[in-house]
Amino acid sequence: MKKLLVVLLTILFVLTGCSNGGGGEKKEEQVYIVAQDGEPATLNPDAISDDFNYTIVQNIFPRLYKLNNAFNAIPDLATSYDVSDDALTYTFHLRDNAVWTDGEKVTSADAVYTFNEIIDKQYANANVFGFVESIEAPDDYTVVFHMSEPDGSFIANVSWYGTFILPKHVLEGTDWMTNDEFSNNPVSCGPFKFDVWNKGTDVQIVRDENYWGDAPLLDRVIFTVISDPSTMYQAWLNGEVDEISASYIPATDLDGIMADTDNYYTVTQTWPSPWYITFNLTEGPFADVKVREAVMYGVDREDVSVKATGGYKPANNHFIPDNFVGAVNDDAREADYDLEKAQQLLEEAGYTKDADGYYFECTFTVMGGFEDFCTVVADNMEKMGIKVKLDVQDYNIWYENCFDNTNFEITALGGFQGPDVLGTTRRWTTDGSVNIPRYSRAEVDELAKKAIQASSDEERNGYIREIQKYLREDVPFVLCVNYVDYSPFKNYIKGNNYVSVADGGSMEKAGFSEYTYYWLDK
């Protein structure tokens, strides 16, 4: 509990008297504490893909456009954009009153520098700019992208991950991967600004009084690190933290908490973020498609749904999230559970059972937070005759092993595959930014390119349906459950971005972990 003590002591030092966003007087500074199970590797939002920094950085850095929590792209640093008739030129018009936290003006030169650096150095989300031929700034508040080919995913992708605009005057000439000064103490431009990083304990941001947009109603947000799930859950129950991910609430407790409307309200949202397992396709037992297909038959996704999520996250039997109804191909769906078929495929692959009843043994490399899900998957694999050792790793270690180096046999992950169906392509195109198994098939890449260039949803969905036939043949991954989020919040939390503006929230104005409109009615 040492890290919680540090957080509580911090709060004692920042108590003050001011009025809250709800219109009444408050006796102390509005401090909101969010628990997460790991700390960022860096506060540079574009250098690497880092889920632990994303919740923080989208509160302190701007994008041209950003995704709100209804999955729509809305203005951020840019107030509007134009697209040429041939869809080969995108022109963004920037606001002229944004400043960095060091007082310098934010201009189009910052945007051009940032995006060119991402492309040149091939930082985490360089593939967003795959069809960008050149970028120019005809004046201080205009950014123009010249495309080599039409890209129907461009606005959505530039509004999402790893596309935050960074200060040219601070970073030019430096290596983002080794610039510790910026990574640990960034110059930013957002509703909040960086305050302090107590390594191993928390990262704290405070209201930026010079922000161009709506002023935050909270004074301080503390992202506290609690690596143990049960400790995190108890801290939330005890009022030591305000918010935790619903995935850390035991499925056995969720019904009771949701029923306790005197203390909690529950928001529900279905995300295109299914949990799935994926394989090392180049070496080891899962390089054989028959073995991967055996796992597809041998993992009972209904069983996973019930045992790992209490049935709150329903089974997924397709190769894309079920959200994208028009693009789902029922003729190329995942196979139904069939244990006998799974074992038959393992034997066709040349395996025979040993004296203990196992065909072979493997290591299931698991990131922290996926233990329950992976334990149930592993139990299913054990029943089909694959002995499984779970290796639970800290996110940053998992990322290096699995994401960077393909140092795994089988692993699992989730993550946003939206906001539209083109977001799924990042998982299975050869150069996809989240293609962890390094899957590559020329037919899939060609169809994905056609989908990106399609002029209508109907045409685009047709290409995606065709792609699923190849995914069914190759089984580079197995989607298991859809991410339906039942998230209880404490009744004193107002302005929630999971709640529509009409109902007092900020869904249409903010992304899922933006805290600009939150306030505490304590």
Taking only the tens place, the pLDDT of each residue in 157-187 is 999 889 999 999 999 999 999 999 999 999 9
- The contacts of residue 456 (CB under 8 Å, 6+ apart) are none
pLDDT at 2 over 70: no
pLDDT for 375: 96
List b or e across 250-264, with b for residues whose CB sees 16 or more CB atoms inside 10 angstroms.
Answer: ebeebeebbeeeeeb
Question: Which is it for strands 78-83 and 89-94: parallel, antiparallel or unpaired?
Answer: antiparallel
pLDDT at 15 over 70: no
pLDDT for 8: 44
Sign for the CA dihedral angle at 212, 419, 51, 166 comes to negative
CB of 119 closer than 8 Å to CB of 129:
yes
Q: Is 350 exposed, middle or buried (0-12, 13-18, 19+ CB in 10 A)?
A: exposed
Q: Judge if the upstream peptide bond of residue 419 is cis by omega within 30 degrees of 0.
A: yes
pLDDT for 21: 40
Average pLDDT taken over every residue of the chain: 92
pLDDT at 17 over 60: no
Rounded mean pLDDT, 339-346: 98
Q: Indicate the domain borders of the chain.
A: 2-58+190-263+491-520, 65-171, 270-483
pLDDT for 1: 46
pLDDT at 448 over 70: yes
- The correct answer on CATH 2.60.120.20 for the domain covering 65-171 is no
CATH topology of domain 2-58+190-263+491-520: D-Maltodextrin-Binding Protein; domain 2 (3.40.190)
User: 248: helix, coil or strand?
Assistant: helix
Rounded mean pLDDT, 104-129: 95
In sequence order, which ranges of 79-189 are alpha helices (DSSP H)? 108-121, 154-158, 168-171, 180-184
Question: DSSP string spanning 22-58?
Answer: TSSEESS--EEEEEESS--S-S-TTTS--HHHHHHHT
pLDDT at 9 over 60: no
What tokens does 44 get?
A: 């540079």
Q: Closest by alpha carbon to 316, among 286, 346, 271, 374?
A: 271
Taking only the tens place, the pLDDT of each residue in 267-291 is 998 999 999 999 999 999 999 999 9
pLDDT at 202 over 70: yes
Mean pLDDT check: name the lowest of 47-51, 78-82, 239-243, 383-387.
47-51
pLDDT at 230 over 90: yes
- The gap between the terminal CA atoms of the chain, to the nearest Å, is 24
CATH superfamily of the domain spanning 270-483: Dipeptide-binding Protein; Domain 3 (3.10.105.10)
Phi and psi torsions of 412, nearest 5°: -145, 150
Could you give the percent of the chain with pLDDT greater than 70? 95
Question: DSSP string spanning 455-522?
Answer: SSHHHHHHHHHHHHHHHHHH-SEEEEEEEEEEEEEETTEES-TTS-GGGT--TTTS-TT--TT-EE--
CA distance 47 to 230: 32
pLDDT at 215 over 90: yes
User: 88: helix, coil or strand?
Assistant: coil
pLDDT for 395: 84
Taking only the tens place, the pLDDT of each residue in 343-398 is 999 999 999 999 999 999 999 999 988 999 999 999 999 999 999 999 999 888 99
pLDDT for 7: 45
pLDDT for 333: 96
**Can you count the helices (H) and strands (E) in the chain?**
15, 19
More confident position, 65 or 252: 65
pLDDT at 449 over 80: yes
What tokens does 179 get?
A: 């610039």
User: From the CB of residue 196, how many other CB atoms can be counted at a distance below 10 Å?
Assistant: 14
Q: Given pLDDT bands bounded at 50, 70 and 90, which one contains residue 27?
A: low
Taking only the tens place, the pLDDT of each residue in 466-522 is 999 999 999 999 999 999 989 999 999 999 999 999 999 999 999 989 999 999 998
